Amino acid sequence: MQDPNEDTQWNDILRAKGIIPQKEEAEVTEDQIVDIVEQSVQQKANGGQKALEDMDLDELDLLEDEEDERVLEEYRQMRIAEMKRIQAKEIFGSVKEISAQDYVAEVNKAGDGVYVILHLYKQGIPLCSLINQYIASLAAKFPATKFLKSISTVCIPNYPDKNLPTVFVYYEGEMKTQWVGPLTFGGMNLTCDELEWKLSEVGAVTTKLEKKPEPQVRKTVSIFSSKSAAQDSDDSDDDY
């Protein structure tokens, strides 16, 4: 009698008509079970993906595209987080006028990681007016730094005019440095870049200036020296 499990065309016809039972599946060997388990463990270790050596070229191309997208997405998320951290600090951007009553809240309790620049001034003092112009510009340029100003005697009663202008630099509620009097600023020759550099030296701002600006007074002296030399030359010519 013909074996009903034999792979023949006739047996296939008989199976299709239900005359003989379907072919019995071959038993899975122990080695095959071990191979199946090992492949499953390997796929889980790869996040459900095949091992690289088992992938064809199309699968490898797809994996490369997915990896590129993942790396780009991770970088994008890092940049977003960085921008949010920066924006969280950049909460100022202008100069605020304060009085003695505001001093503790605005200066000593400005917050963690916050630099505070306080300018004591008085109306009618040209250098004070100049510095007020400069700190307005710098406040917009460095919004993470808190810029304040106050009329000297309003902030500190009986504060002497000879000490003006005065700039205090605070960090996390503690004074880091102070510049008192016109000579500490170089007088009316002070430039905005020079003031920015002074603030950067104490860490209050992060400047993009590559080197310390040359004091304006030196340029002025240089110009006068050139003019004087030219005049001396003219005078010498007149002697002949």
Percent of the chain with pLDDT strictly greater than 90: 46
**Residue 114 near residue 176 (C-beta atoms within 8 A):** no
Query: Does the pLDDT of residue 198 top 70, yes or no?
Result: yes
* d(C-alpha 166, C-alpha 156), whole Å: 12
- Residue bearing the bigger pLDDT, 173 or 69: 173
Residue range 203-228: mean pLDDT, rounded: 69
For 97-135, the DSSP string reads E--GGGHIIIIITS-TT-EEEEEEE-TT-HHHHHHHHHH
pLDDT of the residue at 219:
46
pLDDT of the residue at 124:
95
Residue range 226-238: mean pLDDT, rounded: 51
pLDDT of the residue at 156:
92
Predicted confidence band of residue 129 (pLDDT cuts 50, 70, 90): very high
pLDDT of the residue at 103:
93
pLDDT of the residue at 215:
76
Query: Does the pLDDT of residue 148 top 60, yes or no?
Result: yes
Closest among 155, 154, 147, 179 to 165, alpha carbons compared: 179
Lowest mean per-residue pLDDT among 49-63, 86-100, 146-160: 49-63
Q: Phi and psi (nearest 5°) for 33?
A: -65, -45
* 52 Cβ neighbours under 8 A, 6+ residues apart: 60, 63
Residue range 165-192: mean pLDDT, rounded: 95
Lowest mean per-residue pLDDT among 97-101, 108-112, 135-139: 108-112
* d(C-alpha 236, C-alpha 175), whole Å: 57
- pLDDT tens-digit map of 107-123: 999 888 899 999 999 99
- Residue bearing the bigger pLDDT, 185 or 78: 185
* d(C-alpha 143, C-alpha 119), whole Å: 17
